[in-house]
A and B are shown apart, each in its own frame.
Chain A
Amino acid sequence: MTSDERRRTKDERAGLAFFGLPGKYAALLRRAMGLMLEYRASIVIWMLTGVMPLVMLAVWYALAESGPIGSYSQNDFVSYYLLLTLVRQLTNVWVIWELDYEIRHGDLSIKLLHPINPIHEYIASHLADKVFRLWILIPLAFLAWWLFPTLHYDFTPLTVTLWLVAMVVAWLLRFLSQYCFGILAFWISQALTLNEMWFAAMLMLGGVVAPLDLFPAPVAAVANYLPFRFMLSFPVEILLGRLSTADLMLGSLTMLGWLVFLVMLYRWLWSKGIRQFSAFGA
C-alpha cells in the first residue's frame, strides 16, 4: 500500500476520513430519525428528566428573595437557569450506555464488520435526537420568552455566533468524554461508574448547582479552566453578557484547547481499545 493509502485507512479506521462521509451520514441520519419517531414517547420522558436546573432555580430564587446573591438578582437567576435548561437539553449525550452494553455483550462485533467506524452511527442517532428535541424546545423557548418578560440576554451578532459555536463544542465535549469512558469498557467493568463521577463533576463545576461565579473565588478561578465549564456554563455565560471581550476570547481558546485534547484522546483510546477487543472479542 502507498503511504497515502495507509494514511487514508488509518483515518478511516479512526472515523476521521471525510470521503463519502456526507452520503453515509445522510443514510445514517435517515434511519436514526426513523428510530427517534418510534421512540418519541420515551424521548419526551428523557427530556423531562433533565429538570435539575429548574429545581436549582426554585431554590436560588427563594434564597434571593431577601436580596441578590453575588451579582445575581432573582430575575438574573431566572435568565441563567432557563437558558441553562435549554443548553442542557440540547447537549445531552447517552452514548456510553450503548457503547458499554455493546462492548460487554459482544454486539459491537456486528458494527466492527462494517467498513465504517462505529462512532458515526452513534453520532447520527444523537443528531436525530437533537432535531427531535428542537421541535419541542423552540416553541417552549418562545413560550418562556413570552411568560417571563424579565428575561434578559445579550444578543449581538458576535455573541449569537459564538453561542452557536460554543453549543456545538459543548455537545462534542460531552459526547467525546462519554465516548472515551465508554471505550474504557474494553478493559474495565466500571466504565459507567467513572462516567457517573465525571457527570457529577459536570453538575457541580459546569454551573448547574450554582453559577460558577457564586463559588468561592479560588474554586471559581480553577473551574474557569476545567472542561466542565465548557460543557454547560460557557454557552450560558456568553448570552448573559457578563463576560468582557477578553474573557470571551480566553474562554473560547480554552474551549477549543479542550476539544483538541479530547479528539486526540479518543483516537488514541480507540486504537488501543480495538486491539484489546480483538484479543478477547465476544
Chain B
Amino acid sequence: MPNQPPIYVEHLCKYYSVHQKEPGLIGSIKSFVRRRYTEVKAVDDVSFTIGAGEIVGFLGPNGAGKTTTLKVLSGLLYPTRGIARVLGFTPSERQPEFLRQITLVMGQKQQLSWDLPAIETFLVNAAIYEIPEAQFKQRLAELSELLDLGPLLKKQVRKLSLGERMKCELAAALLHRPQVLFLDEPTIGLDVTMQTRIRQFVREYNERYGATIILTSHYMADVTALCRRVIVIDHGKLLYDGDLHTLAEKIAPHKLIRVEFAQPLNGQRLEDYGEVISAREQRAALLVPRDATPEVAARMLAQLPIADVTIEEPPIEDVITRVFEQAAHARAERGEEDVDDE
C-alpha cells in the first residue's frame, strides 16, 4: 500500500438521469403528465494519478464535473463506470479507516453548528475521529496559529463573518490531520486578504505534513499560487493534465510585450510588430509569438522611442478561456448538443 499513489482514477464515468422541462405553464402541465429524461454525463472517461504531497488544481466552468469528481473521490458518490482509488481504498465503501484520513471542504456547505461556538464542533470532531486529548490540544494550537483563530473559537458561529467562518471550517476539517484534502471552492465569497491567508495556510499545511491536495476554484489566483499541476475539466471531459506553465506555452504560444513610450509615436505603426492588445497615449501592449519575442523586442527598442519595456506571460485566465473555447469549438464540430449540466 505505501507504494501506491494516493489518488488513482481510471476511466471514471458518472452519469445522471435528469428530467427536462419546458418553461411556462404549458411546459409545467406537460411535464406533470409525462416526464422526459435525458442522461447527463457529469464525468466522462476521466483518468489521472496524483502522487503524495502534490497540490493539484482542478479548473473548469460551473457544472464541468469538478465537484462531482471530488464527491466520487471522497466517497459521497459511486462511479457509473471506471475506477477510483484513494489511499488504496475504494471511496464509495466509506470505510471509517478511509474517512479518518481524508477531508472534503465544500465552500458552500458547513459542518459547524450554527448556534454554538466553533470550539464545540471541534470537540465533537475530536471524539468522532478518536483524537487523544493531548494531540487535540496540540493540533488546535497549531491550527489556531496558522489560521489566526484566537478569539473566534468562543464566538457563536452565526456571528462570525464569512472569512472567519471559513477559517474555522478549515480547522474543523483538518483536526484529524488527514493525508488527503479535497478543497472545493474554499475561497469563494471571501475578500482578497482572506483569500491570500487561506492560500498561505494551504501551502503551509502541504509543506508541513506532506498532504496530497486537490483544489477546485473559480479564482485563477488560487491555482497559480498553489498548484504546479492543473487538470482542466469541461463538460465532464479531461481537457488537459499537466504543468500550468506548459499549458500556457502550448495553448497560448504568445508573450505579452508592454511598452511605455518616451514621446508620442511619429507615424510608426505598432501593428508591424505584433497583435496590438491595447494602445493609449504613452502605453501599449502587444501579443507576439513566443519564439519571435526577443527579435521583436530588439527591433522595437531600436526603432521606437521606448522608455520602459516588460515581457510577460499572458494572463492565465486568458489561457484557460482559450482552452474552453477550443473545446467548445471541437464539440460543435462533432455536432454535440450543448446541454446545461446544472
Query: Which chain A residues have a beta carbon within 8 Å of chain B's beta carbons?
Result: 9, 12-13, 20, 23-24, 26-28, 30-31, 34-35, 38-39, 106-107, 109-110, 112-116, 274-275, 277-281
Contact = CB atoms under 8 A, between A and B. Distances in A.
B283 interface: no
Contact of A31 (B102, B104, B111, B113): B113
Contacts of B71: 109, 281
By CB atoms of chain B within 10 A, which of A24, A110, A113 has the most? A113
B261 to A, nearest CB: 56
Contact of A279 (B77, B110, B115): B77
B77 A113 contact: no
The 3 nearest A-B residue pairs measured at CB: A27-B127, A115-B96, A115-B99
**Which of A38, A107, A278 counts the most chain B CB atoms within 10 A?**
A278
Contacts of A115: 96-97, 99-100, 128-129
Of the listed residues A9, A39, A277, A280, the one surrounded by the most CB atoms of chain B closer than 10 A to its CB is A9
A28 B120 CA distance: 9
B308 interface: no
A282 B316 CA distance: 31
Contact of B115 (A13, A27, A35, A107): A35
A103 to B, nearest CB: 13
Interface in B7-51: 16
A185 to B, nearest CB: 17
B128 A112 contact: no
Given A279-B77, A281-B76, A20 B116 contact: no
Given A9-B96, A9-B97, A27 B123 contact: yes
Given A20-B130, A113-B102, A115-B129, 14 more contacts: A9-B96, A13-B96, A24-B127, A27-B126, A28-B124, A28-B127, A31-B124, A35-B116, A110-B110, A113-B74, A113-B103, A115-B97, A115-B100, A116-B128
Residue among B78, B127, B129 with max Cβ neighbours from chain A (10 Å) = B127
B130 A110 contact: no
Nearest to A109: B76
A26 B127 contact: yes
A5 to B, nearest CB: 9
Contact of B76 (A31, A35, A116, A278): A278
Interface string B120-164: 110111111110000000000000000000000000000000000
Of B95, B113, B129, most buried by chain A (CB within 10 Å of CB) is B95
Contact of B123 (A30, A106, A279, A281): A30
A119 to B, nearest CB: 13
A13 B94 contact: yes
- Among B111, B121, B125, find the residue whose CB has the most chain A CB atoms closer than 10 A: B111
Contacts of B124: 27-28, 30-31
Given A9-B95, A38-B116, A278-B92, A114 B128 contact: yes
Contacts of B100: 115
Nearest to B121: A31
B208 interface: no
